[in-house]
């Protein structure tokens, strides 16, 4: 008789680890099922947490998604070196493109048709915030800065959708250079 596997037990985790597990479960299920098919119970089972634990952290799966995008945004803003670009424009871009490249299956699920408008809109909002929180070469009026952020976020979103769907061999560096070239006139 072969040795039996030890029972799967839930490790003792801190609250932040539970939240991290729930975020990981969300990304896995997005790839497997798409946004609309995901239910809170599925997230709990995948993350190995109870429903009450889920609701201690998030009031809904939408709040979990928003927290995931907030973490990504914060990581991109704090993890960028000031010298990422000589003029300081879009310092988050290399990190974002590298992350998209490394996690293509997740981003195809996030930005593709299976994600639905809700997920795509939250991702675009994150991009807008990234652009709004980076310095511009000039100090345009607030309304122009907002228009610029929306324009660049939309353009970057569509470029990412194309890149993920094109199965072309371009790497993050080439996409970065292309986007910077096309967006120079919007500074």
pTM of the predicted model as reported, rounded to 2 decimal places: 0.82
Buried b (16+ CB within 10 A) or exposed e, 81-90: eeeebeeebb
Q: Tell me the pLDDT tens digit for each residue of 35-73.
A: 999 999 999 999 999 999 999 999 999 999 999 999 999
Structure confidence at residue 137 (pLDDT): 64
Q: Tell me the pLDDT tens digit for each residue of 90-135.
A: 999 999 999 999 999 999 999 987 778 999 999 999 999 999 988 6
13 in Cβ contact with 5 (< 8 Å): no
Contacts 24+ apart (CB under 8 A), 5-13: 8/48, 10/48, 10/49
Q: What percent of the chain has pLDDT over 70?
A: 84
Distance CA 129, CA 4 (A): 51
Q: State the Cα angle at 150 between 144 and 153, rounded to 5°.
A: 135
């Amino acid at each position: 008789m072969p040795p039996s596997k030890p029972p799967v037990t839930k490790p003792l985790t801190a609250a932040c680890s539970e939240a991290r597990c729930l975020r990981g479960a969300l990304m896995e299920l997005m790839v497997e099922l798409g946004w609309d098919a995901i239910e809170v119970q599925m997230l709990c089972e995948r993350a190995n947490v109870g429903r009450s634990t889920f609701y201690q952290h998030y009031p809904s799966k939408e709040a979990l998604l928003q927290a995931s995008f907030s973490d990504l945004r914060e990581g991109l803003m704090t993890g960028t070196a000031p010298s990422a670009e000589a003029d300081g424009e879009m310092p988050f871009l290399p990190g974002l493109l590298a992350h998209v490249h490394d996690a293509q299956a997740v981003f195809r699920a996030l930005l593709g048709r299976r994600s639905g408008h809700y997920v795509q809109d939250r991702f675009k909002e994150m991009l807008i915030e990234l652009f709004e929180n980076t310095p511009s070469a000039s100090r345009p009026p607030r309304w122009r800065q907002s228009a610029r952020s929306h324009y660049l976020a939309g353009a970057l979103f569509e470029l990412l959708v194309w890149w993920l769907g094109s199965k072309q061999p371009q790497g993050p560096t080439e996409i970065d250079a292309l986007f910077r070239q096309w967006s120079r006139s919007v500074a």
